[in-house]
A = this chain, B = another copy of it.
Amino acid sequence: MANVNRLRDFVIEATHLVEKHRDNESALLAEAKPLLAGLIASDDWLPEDYAVADPLRYRQYLLHADPLERLSVVSFVWGPGQRTPVHDHRVWGLVGVLRGAELSTGFSRASDGRLVPGQEDRIESGDVVAVSPTIGDIHSIANALPDAPSISIHVYGGNIGAVRRASFDPQTGEERLFISGYSNERLPNLWDRSRENG
């Protein structure tokens, strides 16, 4: 049985951080990064429904949304060969690899409008990387494994599935607006403490 209590405790602490650092993104990220690293240090808590890869495209399963939409926690599941387009977020985001490994590439905009890729980083399970409009908001993520799914847990400073944002043609820099939504109609119930020991 999944130890969903780990996710619940993470959600509670992340909510406190968002309230504590309302107007200070760097202080928030400084505390939220190790909090997410702590969550992904164990791989015994994600219910199986939210770890299922789709043969056609990556999935994004909402695990928790703050009722005031200041925070969301999402399980991204990439099958072999799957990757995001180049895209932005418009809110801060943290990517923590739970299972497998991923390739993360940041992009910056050149004077002629094209998007220039930075270094491609291989992020392993346990690693956390950050994005935001302040520190660099445009990236792509791919599954680094050719033969197995990879899963990362993402935390955002908003209801990411409802944010109007952009994907890009990296050659031309041309943007296409999108709202991602989520892959799931049901969320895990994190709140039934009567099912736990102790």
By a beta-carbon cutoff of 8 Å, the part of chain A in contact with chain B is: 11-12, 15-16, 49, 62, 64-69, 72, 159, 161-162, 179-182, 184-195
User: Which residues of the other chain, B, contact A191 by a CB distance below 8 angstroms?
Assistant: 62, 65, 69, 72, 159, 161-162, 182
Contact (Cβ within 8 A) A67 B12: yes
Contact at A15–B192, with CB atoms within 8 Å? no
CB distance from A185 to the nearest CB of B (A): 5
Residues of B within 8 A of A192 (CB): 62, 161-162, 181-182, 185
- Hey, which chain B residues are within 8 Å of A184, CB to CB? 189
> Nearest 8 A-B pairs (CB), nearest first?
A181-B194, A186-B186, A162-B193, A65-B191, A15-B67, A187-B187, A179-B194, A182-B192
Contact of A193 with B161 in the complex, beta carbons under 8 Å: yes
A to B CB contacts below 8 Å, 23 in the list: A11-B67, A12-B67, A15-B67, A15-B68, A16-B68, A62-B189, A62-B191, A62-B192, A64-B67, A65-B190, A67-B67, A69-B191, A161-B191, A162-B191, A179-B193, A181-B192, A181-B193, A181-B194, A181-B195, A182-B189, A186-B186, A186-B188, A187-B187
**Bound-complex Cα distance A187 to B189 (A):** 6
Q: 15 other contacts beyond A162-B193, A182-B194, with CB at 8 A cut-off?
A: A16-B68, A67-B67, A161-B191, A161-B192, A162-B191, A162-B194, A179-B194, A180-B194, A181-B192, A181-B194, A185-B189, A185-B192, A186-B187, A186-B188, A187-B189
